[in-house]
Amino acid sequence: MEITAPSIETIASATPFFAAGIKAGYTENTDKEKAGVLGQFNSSAPHPLRILGKIITLIFITETIIMMFLASFTTPDTPFMWLADALILTVIITPAIYFMVIRPLLRHMEERERLEDASRRAREQAESASKLKDKFVSLVSHDLRTPLASIIGLLRILNADSVHPLNEDQKALLEHVTRAGDDLVNMIDKLLDIGKLQAGMIQPHFKFTDARELAIKCVAQVSHLAMAKGVNLRNDVPEGIKVYADPDLLGEVMNNILLNAVKFSGSGENVTAYIPEGRPNVIAVRDTGVGIPEDILPRLFKHYDKTSTLGTEGEEGSGLGLPLCYDIMAAHNGALTVKSQVGKGTEFFIRTPSIRPLILVVEPDAKSRMTLSSLLKEFNADIIETESGEEALAILEETRPHLIIMDANTRTPRSNENLIQKLKSAKETMDLPIIAITADGETTKEADLNLSKEKAREEFVPMVQKLLNI
């Protein structure tokens, strides 16, 4: 039986998409589905599937041309007949590969690209809108605060006027207005702080902070409110607990949590600050007050979701304190979480980063390094030892220690500068605390503290405690 190659008309009737594609490849057509194979892959993105599709198209066209050429002079007995038969088979298989494999993958890829592009645009629009909103809130809050504070100041002057004194009813009314004004100023301050945190204008200044001392200070600040309501306020934070945080910002979080706990507790109920067992980097505040409804808990830390309710004696709130506290702890790489049960009370957990002190020891003498490292063991710190200024600079490029202890004469490798002077003059390292190890009677003014080698054992531990605040 004689097998001859099909004509171009036969191929066109069998695979109209390819025939149309060959024709449309030389004409202007913006519709990819109607443009055929050449139009289908008319894309500037060099994706592997598109490249593969073009290769298959070129193979199909080339096979068709060669097959027609061979069919013009071959017979069943000619040596090229097997090649013509193979080409006929591949001409049939090639469109099947395209339609069954390549084309579905291309469509899936294009759909995914379309969705990713839409998601990216939506994200950019949301970020732009959020930045615009934050800027608007900050500007408006700032412009409101100054005149409002002036008005409150004038009201207080009026209330204290002894030349034209107010009667008791007028004073009571004025006190009410002044309190409302103070609440509004506090709300504006929180809005401004939230805006600054979100804009990165407030950055925590970390240091090892005594958790008990901080709790004592915060409990004292709200004790008068607790006493007025008959709430029992306790500080059960043990001594010796150090947390790594900005003490001012962490204190603001604790104050807010303690105030809320007193606000939602009644006479005879308890508010306690403590450290949960096995979690030394967490400060918790527990109360036995009214508790928080379950439907409010997921929305408690959201800025623009009103969750504030009246306290046990009708105390009002702005609803901005907890979102601000949440942002502060996020800026610490920590967290603020809560669990509560209506009628039984609430617990807030203030989690700070779990950090061990990191101390860099730079000392050329191996025996002295060993002595210093031995003295540092009681601080439960991670210690990095090095003998040269070059190695110290390489370490400082990769990590940031909490304290540097180095020989006062350590030099830089190339410029031969004094390393302590170099570190204290550079913006990135000028705030790193440094103890300089000196010969007896010598001092290095750039160092935070100077330690004489002759008195190292007596003075070393107190110096480290002072600079690390541990």
Q: What is the DSSP string of 289-329?
A: SS---TTTGGGTT-TTS------TT-----S-HHHHHHHHH
pTM of the model: 0.58
At residue 366, the pLDDT reads: 86
In this predicted structure, the answer to whether residue 268 has a pLDDT above a threshold of 50 is: yes
Distance CA(311)–CA(430), nearest Å, equals 47
Sequence-ordered strand ranges (E) for 114-269: 207-210, 232-235, 242-245
Per residue in 237-249, pLDDT (tens digit) is 998 888 999 888 8
The torsion angles phi and psi of 74, rounded to 5 degrees, stand at -100, 150
Per residue in 116-174, pLDDT (tens digit) is 888 888 887 777 766 666 666 656 656 666 777 778 888 888 878 777 888 888 888 88
Longest dimension (CA), the chain: 130
Tokens 């500007």, residue? 139
Q: Which residues of 52-76 are buried (b: 16+ CB within 10 A; e: fewer)?
A: bbbebbeebbebbeebbebbeebee
How high does pLDDT run on average in the chain? 76
Per residue in 196-218, pLDDT (tens digit) is 666 666 678 888 889 999 999 99
Residue in 295, 332, 311 with CA at minimum distance from that of residue 259: 311
In this predicted structure, the answer to whether residue 339 has a pLDDT above a threshold of 70 is: yes
At residue 307, the pLDDT reads: 66
Residue 283 pLDDT class (50, 70, 90 cuts): very high
Percentage of the chain modeled with pLDDT above 90: 15
Per residue in 175-203, pLDDT (tens digit) is 878 877 776 776 667 666 666 666 666 67
In this predicted structure, the answer to whether residue 77 has a pLDDT above a threshold of 60 is: no
3-state secondary structure 29-53: CCCCCCCHHHHHCCCCCCCHHHHHH
The strand pair at 270-274 and 232-235 is best described as parallel
